[in-house]
Amino acid sequence: MGFLDRFRKKGDKKTENKEEVNKPVTELEKMCGDAELYNDLGRMLPLNLNSAIKIPTNDNPSASELRKYAAQLKNKGDIQARNFYDLAMAKALMEGNQSEIQTIYDERKESASSEPYAGIMRDIGRAIKVTTEFYAKQAEQKKKEAEQKKETA
Protein backbone atom coordinates (compact mmCIF):
# COMPACT_ATOMS: atom_id res chain seq x y z
CA MET A 1 0.00 0.00 0.00
CA GLY A 2 2.82 2.47 0.80
CA PHE A 3 4.39 1.78 -2.56
CA LEU A 4 1.21 2.80 -4.42
CA ASP A 5 0.81 6.00 -2.39
CA ARG A 6 4.09 7.32 -3.76
CA PHE A 7 2.69 7.28 -7.28
CA ARG A 8 -0.58 8.94 -6.28
CA LYS A 9 1.16 11.86 -4.61
CA LYS A 10 3.26 12.55 -7.70
CA GLY A 11 0.18 12.53 -9.89
CA ASP A 12 -1.65 14.96 -7.62
CA LYS A 13 1.26 17.41 -7.66
CA LYS A 14 1.36 17.40 -11.46
CA THR A 15 -2.33 18.25 -11.79
CA GLU A 16 -2.04 21.05 -9.19
CA ASN A 17 0.87 22.62 -11.09
CA LYS A 18 -1.01 22.46 -14.40
CA GLU A 19 -4.01 24.25 -12.91
CA GLU A 20 -1.84 27.05 -11.54
CA VAL A 21 -0.06 27.56 -14.86
CA ASN A 22 -3.26 27.57 -16.95
CA LYS A 23 -5.19 30.00 -14.72
CA PRO A 24 -5.55 33.34 -16.57
CA VAL A 25 -5.07 36.56 -14.64
CA THR A 26 -7.68 39.23 -15.34
CA GLU A 27 -7.03 42.96 -15.49
CA LEU A 28 -9.08 43.51 -12.32
CA GLU A 29 -7.09 40.83 -10.50
CA LYS A 30 -3.83 42.55 -11.48
CA MET A 31 -5.12 45.90 -10.21
CA CYS A 32 -6.38 44.49 -6.88
CA GLY A 33 -3.40 42.35 -5.98
CA ASP A 34 -5.32 41.16 -2.91
CA ALA A 35 -7.51 38.05 -3.27
CA GLU A 36 -10.18 39.25 -0.86
CA LEU A 37 -10.55 42.64 -2.54
CA TYR A 38 -10.61 40.93 -5.94
CA ASN A 39 -13.36 38.55 -4.81
CA ASP A 40 -15.51 41.42 -3.50
CA LEU A 41 -15.03 43.66 -6.52
CA GLY A 42 -15.18 40.83 -9.06
CA ARG A 43 -18.52 39.67 -7.68
CA MET A 44 -19.96 43.14 -7.35
CA LEU A 45 -18.77 45.37 -10.19
CA PRO A 46 -20.84 45.26 -13.39
CA LEU A 47 -18.84 45.48 -16.61
CA ASN A 48 -20.76 48.53 -17.79
CA LEU A 49 -21.71 50.53 -14.72
CA ASN A 50 -24.05 52.99 -16.43
CA SER A 51 -26.13 50.47 -18.37
CA ALA A 52 -26.47 48.05 -15.45
CA ILE A 53 -27.97 50.53 -13.02
CA LYS A 54 -31.56 51.49 -13.62
CA ILE A 55 -34.41 51.84 -11.16
CA PRO A 56 -38.05 52.66 -12.03
CA THR A 57 -37.76 56.30 -10.95
CA ASN A 58 -34.39 57.20 -12.49
CA ASP A 59 -32.17 55.97 -15.33
CA ASN A 60 -28.93 57.25 -13.79
CA PRO A 61 -29.38 57.02 -9.99
CA SER A 62 -26.83 58.04 -7.40
CA ALA A 63 -25.49 55.62 -4.81
CA SER A 64 -27.87 56.93 -2.13
CA GLU A 65 -30.90 56.48 -4.43
CA LEU A 66 -29.81 52.89 -5.14
CA ARG A 67 -29.33 52.24 -1.42
CA LYS A 68 -32.81 53.55 -0.62
CA TYR A 69 -34.31 51.42 -3.39
CA ALA A 70 -32.47 48.34 -2.06
CA ALA A 71 -33.84 49.05 1.42
CA GLN A 72 -37.36 49.06 -0.02
CA LEU A 73 -36.69 45.73 -1.75
CA LYS A 74 -35.30 44.14 1.41
CA ASN A 75 -38.82 43.23 2.53
CA LYS A 76 -39.74 41.66 -0.83
CA GLY A 77 -36.70 39.51 -1.46
CA ASP A 78 -33.18 39.16 -0.21
CA ILE A 79 -31.58 38.40 -3.59
CA GLN A 80 -32.95 41.46 -5.35
CA ALA A 81 -32.04 43.72 -2.45
CA ARG A 82 -28.53 42.24 -2.30
CA ASN A 83 -28.04 42.93 -6.02
CA PHE A 84 -29.08 46.55 -5.60
CA TYR A 85 -26.83 46.94 -2.56
CA ASP A 86 -23.98 45.63 -4.73
CA LEU A 87 -24.82 48.14 -7.46
CA ALA A 88 -25.09 50.93 -4.87
CA MET A 89 -21.68 49.97 -3.49
CA ALA A 90 -20.19 49.98 -7.01
CA LYS A 91 -21.68 53.41 -7.70
CA ALA A 92 -20.46 54.75 -4.33
CA LEU A 93 -16.96 53.44 -5.07
CA MET A 94 -17.07 55.17 -8.47
CA GLU A 95 -18.22 58.41 -6.87
CA GLY A 96 -15.56 58.07 -4.14
CA ASN A 97 -18.17 58.69 -1.44
CA GLN A 98 -16.75 57.07 1.72
CA SER A 99 -19.66 57.99 3.99
CA GLU A 100 -22.11 56.38 1.55
CA ILE A 101 -19.89 53.28 1.35
CA GLN A 102 -20.04 52.97 5.15
CA THR A 103 -23.84 53.43 5.17
CA ILE A 104 -24.34 50.78 2.47
CA TYR A 105 -22.03 48.43 4.35
CA ASP A 106 -23.97 48.89 7.59
CA GLU A 107 -27.34 48.30 5.94
CA ARG A 108 -26.11 45.29 3.96
CA LYS A 109 -24.48 43.80 7.05
CA GLU A 110 -27.85 43.70 8.86
CA SER A 111 -29.35 41.29 6.33
CA ALA A 112 -26.21 39.31 5.45
CA SER A 113 -25.40 35.93 6.92
CA SER A 114 -21.67 36.51 6.38
CA GLU A 115 -19.42 39.58 6.38
CA PRO A 116 -20.18 41.48 3.15
CA TYR A 117 -17.51 43.57 1.44
CA ALA A 118 -14.76 42.58 3.89
CA GLY A 119 -12.01 43.26 1.36
CA ILE A 120 -13.46 46.65 0.48
CA MET A 121 -13.96 47.77 4.07
CA ARG A 122 -10.41 46.81 5.04
CA ASP A 123 -9.04 49.54 2.74
CA ILE A 124 -11.76 51.77 1.30
CA GLY A 125 -9.31 54.15 -0.36
CA ARG A 126 -7.64 51.37 -2.29
CA ALA A 127 -11.00 49.93 -3.33
CA ILE A 128 -12.04 53.35 -4.66
CA LYS A 129 -8.76 53.67 -6.56
CA VAL A 130 -9.05 50.21 -8.14
CA THR A 131 -12.68 50.80 -9.11
CA THR A 132 -12.00 54.14 -10.78
CA GLU A 133 -8.96 52.71 -12.60
CA PHE A 134 -11.03 49.73 -13.75
CA TYR A 135 -13.80 51.87 -15.24
CA ALA A 136 -11.30 54.37 -16.70
CA LYS A 137 -9.52 51.55 -18.52
CA GLN A 138 -12.86 50.23 -19.77
CA ALA A 139 -13.84 53.67 -21.06
CA GLU A 140 -10.46 54.01 -22.77
CA GLN A 141 -10.83 50.57 -24.33
CA LYS A 142 -14.32 51.38 -25.64
CA LYS A 143 -13.02 54.63 -27.09
CA LYS A 144 -10.24 52.76 -28.93
CA GLU A 145 -12.73 50.21 -30.26
CA ALA A 146 -14.99 53.01 -31.52
CA GLU A 147 -12.03 54.68 -33.27
CA GLN A 148 -11.07 51.39 -34.89
CA LYS A 149 -14.61 50.93 -36.18
CA LYS A 150 -14.55 54.42 -37.68
CA GLU A 151 -11.22 53.74 -39.38
CA THR A 152 -12.43 50.48 -40.92
CA ALA A 153 -15.71 51.98 -42.11
Residue 14 domain-assigned?
Answer: no
Query: Under DSSP, is residue 57 helix (H, G, I), strand (E, B) or coil?
Result: coil
How much is the pLDDT for 20?
55
Residue 21 domain-assigned?
Answer: no
Separation of alpha carbons 148 and 139, rounded Å: 14
Residue pair 44/89 in contact by the 8 Å Cβ criterion: yes
Residue 22 domain-assigned?
Answer: no
How much is the pLDDT for 91?
87
Residue 17 domain-assigned?
Answer: no
Residue 133 domain-assigned?
Answer: yes
DSSP per residue, 61-72: --HHHHHHHHHH
Counted domains in the chain = 1
Residue 37 domain-assigned?
Answer: yes
How much is the pLDDT for 8?
64
pLDDT in tens, the chain (153 residues): 565 566 665 545 555 555 555 566 788 888 888 888 888 888 877 766 555 555 666 667 788 888 888 888 877 667 778 888 888 888 888 888 899 999 988 888 877 666 788 888 888 899 999 988 888 888 888 888 888 888 886
Q: Which domain holds residue 41?
A: 29-152
How much is the pLDDT for 18?
52
Residue 2 domain-assigned?
Answer: no
Residue 79 domain-assigned?
Answer: yes
Give me the torsion for CA of 40, 44, 46, 52, rounded to 10°. Answer: -160
